[in-house]
Amino acid sequence: MRTKGFIFSCVFWCLMGANTALAEDMPQEVEPLPNGGVYRFMGESGDLVHTRTLPWEGIVAGYEVLDSSGRVVKSIPALPTEEEKAERERRKAEALAKKEQEKRDQELLRMYATPRDAERALERQLAAIEMSINYSRNAKMQAEVKRDNAIQQAADRERRGQEVPEHLAESIERYQREVDTLKKEIEAQEKDKQAVQEDYAPIISRLKEIVH
């Protein structure tokens, strides 16, 4: 008995789920008939159908409510086709995308009044990064000079048959580590420079489109 109840529950909720998909396009209820009135709709064969009990075919096709004198008191449009529903969803998506774009444009204009304002902001950021790169390059060159001098001192001692002092060997290693670290810093700064340019490119392009 519990198994049957479980199966019934599953079937019930599956049907509910299927009906939910139709709910948006189905009328909440069929229009009631006035006394002596009938429903009228175009049947699949192209003939007008008059009936007091409206079938699903009439709901899909759209129908009219006639009074006892045959006058139309209400017209209910047909349910949308799959193509019409797809077009409606497409238009809704387009409208939403347009609204979101307008919101982004307003935020953009609050930051930059003109494309030139954004270009100047880009130039300032690039200049700051370039300054850091130049500083790192100079520091790297100085470390390389110190390393090379220490290497030369060690080579001179070896040529004279003297032992290379431990502090001199450590200096060479320290200067090399400094050179390697600064090289990585420069590479990272160059990537930052490229990233900033890529970030500003669509901003400047969009501003050129919306600012006249």
pLDDT band (50, 70, 90) for residue 10:
very low
Query: Is residue 203's pLDDT more than 50?
Result: yes
Query: How many other CB atoms sit within 10 Å of the CB of residue 97?
Result: 10
pLDDT at residue 11 in the model = 35
Per cent of the chain over pLDDT 70 is 87
pLDDT of residue 9 exceeding 70: no
User: Please, are residues 193 and 124 in contact by the beta-carbon 8 Å criterion?
Assistant: no
Asked whether the whole model's pTM tops 0.85, one would answer: no
pLDDT of residue 44: 87
Given a cut of 70, whether residue 27 has pLDDT beyond it is no
- CB under 8 A, 24+ apart: contacts of 112-116: 112/203, 112/207, 113/211, 114/207, 114/211, 115/204, 115/207, 115/208, 115/211
Whether residue 7 has pLDDT greater than 60: no
Whether 15 shows a pLDDT value over 60: the answer reads: no
pLDDT for res 105: 95
Q: What are the structural domain ranges in the chain?
A: 28-79, 112-210
Tens of pLDDT, residues 73-119: 999 999 998 999 999 999 999 999 999 999 999 999 999 999 999 99
